[in-house]
Amino acid sequence: MKIGVPQEIKNNENRVGLTPAGAFELVNYGHEVFVQESAGIGSGFSDEDYYEAGAVLLPTIEAVYAMADMIVKVKEPTPYEYPLIKRNQVLFTYFHFASSEELTRAMIASKAVCIAYETVSDEDGFLPLLTPMSEVAGRMAIQQGAKYLEKPIKGRGVLLGGVPGVPPGKVLVLGAGVVGIQAAKMAAGLGAHVTILDINMKRLRYVNDIMPNHVVTEFSSVFNIKRHIKNHDLIIGAVLIPGAKAPNLITREMLKEMRPGTVLVDVAVDQGGCFETTRPTTHEEPTYIIDDIVHYCVANMPGAVPYTSTLALTNVTLPYILKLANLGWETACEKYPDLGRGLNIVKGEVLIEEIKKAFAEVDLLMG
């Protein structure tokens, strides 16, 4: 199979879809790997690294799309890439269709085979390709939130860990999934007081078992959310419904209940966001302020630490890339049900119910 790795062109996205080590493995199996020149530079991998791994370097993104049977990326295609996608071409990347009608309609029109990292899952619902980036994003949420609590950036002026004689900052985490647990772990490590809310008692029991005593669990409800937002300094939106749009747990009206300078970090921005006031931002302009509340809603948070993120991503995607390349997408998805659950849009047909429900004109999306 001919596998293409284009350079990511989303704002400040420095990750790359495949490491040189991944390219070496694919070439070793007899496949051809085409990498756009400079695609790996942001992650710390030179063109020479890919060349030595056996990849063929191509000068433009157009050339990569034209040569490849399968495109391996990190983020969803941008409008610039839509016309480059070929009929029946396999696209293996993060899509998050439910948050973008434009992207969904473009992929339907392309007649390509869209396999989304974020919906590849086992029978128990574990998401192996989303997990490493969720781990990175959860940890980064606290790192960024702590920074934007500083007064020069219009935060409350709170040091999360406090100091002797001064109480620590308070962190509210909405969701006890991978992102939420990683965020809670980081916040607790800094010495902050952490409250984590979820509707899944099994997850809350797990958090109780693994976290220190200054991490408190509570059942998530509108009442409890309204109560906690009044006195927490940093609020992390970490709710995930696989393939679906995230629920708005904090409304615009609720911002008035918060103290000025409170920081909201919405890790669910890729799926539409946990907060009504969420809108995607970039690493270039990561924050905005509404009603004196600082919002950090960067849609590709792990892109800020591309070396770590790219290695973590290729660790989990490479086995699936090999299956797709060795067997072809139809056989691979039939033989491996976890990979089959990654099929979102196939040759113009939407296969995921949550995507259909996300938009009003369901009949059009059904192809």
pLDDT in tens, the chain (367 residues): 999 999 999 888 999 999 999 999 999 999 999 999 999 999 999 999 999 999 999 999 999 999 999 999 999 999 999 999 999 999 999 998 988 899 999 999 999 999 999 999 998 889 999 999 999 999 999 999 999 999 998 999 999 999 999 999 999 999 999 999 999 999 999 999 999 999 999 999 999 999 999 999 999 999 999 999 999 999 999 998 776 778 899 999 999 999 999 999 999 998 889 999 999 999 999 999 999 999 999 988 999 999 999 999 999 999 999 999 999 999 999 999 999 999 999 999 999 888 888 775 545 555 4
SS3 content of the chain, % helix, strand, coil (to 5): 40, 20, 40
Q: Output the CA torsion sign for 342, 347, 352, 357.
A: positive
Q: What gap in Å lies between CA 40 and CA 43, rounded to an integer?
A: 5
Q: Given 96, 228, 232, 295, which residue is catalytic?
A: 96
The one-character DSSP state at 146 is: H
Q: Which residues have C-beta within 8 Å of that of residue 83, sequence separation ≥ 6?
A: none
Q: What gap in Å lies between CA 114 and CA 343, rounded to an integer?
A: 6
Q: Given 69, 198, 233, 270, which residue is catalytic?
A: 270
- Is residue 96 among the annotated active site residues? yes
The separation between CA 140 and the C-alpha centre of its own chain, rounded to angstroms, equals: 12
Lookup result for tokens 């950090």 = 296
Q: What is the pTM of this model?
A: 0.87
Q: Which two tokens mark 205?
A: 């029991």
